[in-house]
Each structure stands twice: as C-alpha cells, then as structure tokens.
Amino acid sequence: MLDPNLLRQQPAEVAARLHATRGFALDADALASLEAERKMVQVRTQELQSQRNKLSGEIGKRKSKGEDVAELMAQVSASGDEQKRGEARLDEIKAEIEAVALAIPNLPHDSVPLGADEAGNVEQHRWGAPREFDFAVKDHVELGARHGWLDAETAAKLSGARFTVLRGGLARLHRALAQFMLDLHVEQHEYQETSVPLLVNADSMRGTGQLPKFEDDLFATVVGEGEAASKRYLIPTSEVPLTNVVRDEIVEDAALPLRMTAHSMCFRAEAGSAGRDTRGMIRQHQFEKVELVAISRPQESYAEHERMTRCAEVVLETLGLPYRRMLLCTGDMGFAAAKTYDLEVWLPSENRYREISSCSNCESFQARRMQARWRNPASGKPEPVHTLNGSGVAIGRAMIAVMENYQNADGSIAVPEALRRYMGGIEVLA
C-alpha cells in the first residue's frame, strides 16, 4: 500500500506516475472527492461530539439546581443521532478509500527502466558459457521419461493437468537440490531456516499483496462450517507466511535485518497462463521452492536487495548453470515490487534463458498493508520496515536445468559435484 499521506496530498501526481510507469489508471478526482468528504464528515462528527460534551455538562449543572433539562436532553439526542450517521458514513468512506488503495500497485524505484512488457527488461550481466553439445539435445521430459522417473500421465490421473509424479533418481535429485540450497543459505548466507504453514488466512494474503487483486490465481479451502467458517489459502510462495511473521509487530532496531529462508510447497492456479508451458514441469500448479525473505531498515534495503540477488546467483554458480541477471522494466514487475531482478538459467532444449529466480524490494508497500514497523532509534518512533523477497531458487526449474545442461549422449545425467554428497556419492543418473 502506498503512503496514505502521498495519496491525500498528491493524488494527481501519483496518478500521473502510475500511468506513466505502470499503465495503471487511478481516478485522482474520485479519490480527492472521497478525501474531501472524509475531512468534512470527520470535522462535523468531532464538532458534534464537542457539542454533546458541552450539553452534557450543562445538563449536569441544571439538574443540580433542579432546573428543567428536557430541551437540552432533546438536543443531545438529536446531536447523537447525527453523530452516529456521520460515524457510519465515515466508516463507509474509509472503506472506499482503502479499497482503492489496496488495488494500487507499488511505485517503481527511479532506477527501474520504463517499459510495457518483458521486451523492456535490461540485461545486467551473464555468468557461464552455454555448453556446446556434439549430439542431439533432449529436453527434460524426454530425459525423465526413460525410466518413468518423470510421469505426467499418472499425475493427471491423480490430480489433473500441470502436476507431475517424480520417481527414482529424479525424486532424489529434486530432494538433493532443496537440501543443498537450504544448507547454502543457512551456513554461508546467514539466513535463518524456517518452517512455515502451507495454509494461511486472508489477512496474510492481503498483507503481501495477493488479495484482493489476485484471488483467481490462488487455491483456497474453507475451514469450519456456518458462521464460524473461514477461508484458508494455499500459499503461492513461502514469501507470504515468512513476510507476515512481522505483521502487526514493532521490530526493535537491533533485530534488523531479519533474514529468513524456507523450503516449501507452492500452489498456483495459473489462471492467466492457459496454453503456456504445458509440456513438462516449467509451469505447474504445485511446485517447490526455497524462498529468501528479508526485513530491513529502509536506508539499507537496496544494499540488502543486491545481497539477496547475489545469494541466489551463488546457487546457480555453485551448480555450474549458466545464467543472466535481468533488471525488470516497469511493465513487467510484480504488483508489490519497487524493483526486481530476475535470474534466468540457460535451457539447452529451448536454446534460451528461462526465469528461475525473482528478487524484489517492495520497500514499505507490504509493510503498510501489514502494519509492520521498526523502532527508529533516531526518533524513537515506529516507522514502516522495508520487505524483500526472492527465490533461492525454484527447485523444479533448477532440476530441469541440471538435467538438460548435464545430460550425456546416452540420456544419462551427470550429477553436479555440489550435489553428490546429498545423493549418496552418486555421480551419474543412468
């Protein structure tokens, strides 16, 4: 959520920036009209309360003298009725303003390039040279099908499209990647390993920006019955529970930065991706990811952003996977992000780079939605923290990249050296 003071004081300027950078149409006039009405109603309700206080005092004085107070009592009653109507309208106006504010995306950082879509993204650097093969390259589906290790047909029977059953060596490779990433981030990158719920409430989804805008992309279930029933959402990423750890909290300065990592299942309905990446494991309803989340002092968040992105890069470099870093343009960034780097790994079967990690600085956008604050020692007052999140990295896509980049002519797959201790010393999946 954007700073409410910014929306109140500069609605036209904010609307112009959102249109120029995000292509988002904010009705500044309607917002200004709501804000003007809010001020008017709030002032009137305060006047009515003050008036009632005076009348109540006068009633007390007259009663002590034995005087008639019927007329004053009638005035208090009328004033009270008007005040109740004003307070009800004030609640309605605040709800309308909040609904508008919750739908507004974050403002991009000044360093983010302008662009309408991924064509406007800017490459920052590359690492590693794509391997040159002297045989026909197979994709991960062909490689995984040899021993029934990657089985989409059985998964479709069990659950439908966009699910996969893994067996044997691939199931073990998938597990090894998760363990490797967690150990790397905990032991070398100083993130605290955290195990989080896979089901969260609506407040948690609203806090990180998935609700209300992206409800169609979420899987949900209902807990309880009747009036006690409530929705719980399957997490699309462990960013949601990790970031919401500080919801409604005031974090002491000495505790910052908070760095957390979690390996979790992730669930996405992929409502807007019909027909895209239907082959194999590129785009699934259920997948696993090692997530990185940082809660930072505002003045340190961009240094933390660079650090987080570098931590994800080290995963790919340690695995020997060629990649490139992309700075996303304004039109390709996520709803809550102020600045995002994508890491794209080389996939030989597609002869191109594909996203495997996305690292974003959300500044105070999520913190304002969550009421997550830190106590600034300079002022002694609570202020919004900055929140950051990144994939460290997507496990399924890392497995695909290992399979394709480490494949041999006979269809076997060499195990990267960094993973062998997690694979019982196995050097080749054959």
Distance of CA 80 to the CA centre of its chain: 44
Is 269 marked as binding a ligand? Answer: yes
Q: Do domains 4-103 and 118-198+234-429 have the same CATH topology?
A: no
Collapsed DSSP state (helix, strand, coil) of residue 393: strand
Query: Which one of 22, 247, 325, 397 is the catalytic residue?
Result: 397
Is 270 marked as binding a ligand? Answer: yes
Q: Supply the pTM of this predicted model.
A: 0.93
Is 77 marked as binding a ligand? Answer: no
d(CA 261, CA 258): 10
What are the φ/ψ torsions at residue 16 (nearest 5 degrees)? -65, -40
Is 15 marked as binding a ligand? Answer: no
Is 291 marked as binding a ligand? Answer: yes
- Surface-to-core class of residue 202, CB atoms within 10 Å of its CB (0-12 exposed, 13-18 middle, 19+ buried): middle
Helices 301-318 and 168-187: crossing angle in degrees, nearest 10, is: 140
**50 close to 81: Cβ distance less than 8 angstroms:** no
Is 93 marked as binding a ligand? Answer: no
pLDDT at 278: 76
**107 close to 51: Cβ distance less than 8 angstroms:** no
CA atoms within 13 A on the CB side of 104: 30
Query: Which one of 52, 268, 307, 325 is the catalytic residue?
Result: 268
Query: Which one of 355, 375, 383, 412 is the catalytic residue?
Result: 355
Is 268 marked as binding a ligand? Answer: yes
pLDDT at 275: 67
pLDDT at 279: 85
pLDDT at 272: 67
Query: Which one of 8, 283, 354, 375 is the catalytic residue?
Result: 283
If you search the block for the tokens 């007390």, which residue do you land on?
60
Is 215 marked as binding a ligand? Answer: no
pLDDT at 271: 73
The amino acid occupying position 420 is R
Is 398 marked as binding a ligand? Answer: no
**75 close to 55: Cβ distance less than 8 angstroms:** yes
| DSSP code of residue 415 | P
Q: Residue ranges per domain, the chain? A: 4-103, 118-198+234-429
Closest CA to 15 of 95, 104, 112: 104
**115 close to 330: Cβ distance less than 8 angstroms:** yes
d(CA 387, CA 385): 7
CATH code for the domain defined by 4-103: 1.10.287.40
If you search the block for the tokens 């019982």, which residue do you land on?
424
Is 64 marked as binding a ligand? Answer: no
Residue 251, beta-bridge partner list: 374
Is 355 considered catalytic here?
A: yes
Residues of the chain with pLDDT under 50: none
CA torsion sign, 60 to 62 to 65 to 67?
negative
> Which CA distances in Å does 333 have to 26, 117, 327, 328?
18, 9, 9, 6
CATH code for the domain defined by 118-198+234-429: 3.30.930.10
- Surface-to-core class of residue 425, CB atoms within 10 Å of its CB (0-12 exposed, 13-18 middle, 19+ buried): exposed
